[in-house]
Structure 1
Amino acid sequence: MCGENCGCGINRHHWHHRARMDVAFPLSLMDVEEEVKTLEEYKEALTKRLEQVNKRIEALKR
């Protein structure tokens, strides 16, 4: 389903392929709500990781 460079198989983020597969069948409201929740959780995790990386960069600069 994914190309070699996608990397979603490792991270289990196949949600971004669903839009391509469901062209004839639009997402239901529940699917949209679930996807929004998933994206918000993913954003939170990335924000926390970015904060950790920035702290590490600052520590290395000292």
Structure 2
Amino acid sequence: MIVDTTYVHTLPNVEGVIYKLPISMTARDKIGKEMVANVVALVLQELPVSSPRKL
């Protein structure tokens, strides 16, 4: 599960891995428009977990 920590502060109790990422904040700070947060989330979903990169 990918959680946008910009707005989600209480995480659900689920089995599996939860990735906590500031998706909306990253979209706002790096691109200048928070409305592209979904696109940022889709790109993050495609990155390999074993080799994190700085965006």
Structure having the higher strand fraction is 2
TM-score by length of 1: 0.27
Question: Which is higher, the Rg of structure 1 or of structure 2?
Answer: 1
Structure having the higher helix fraction is 1
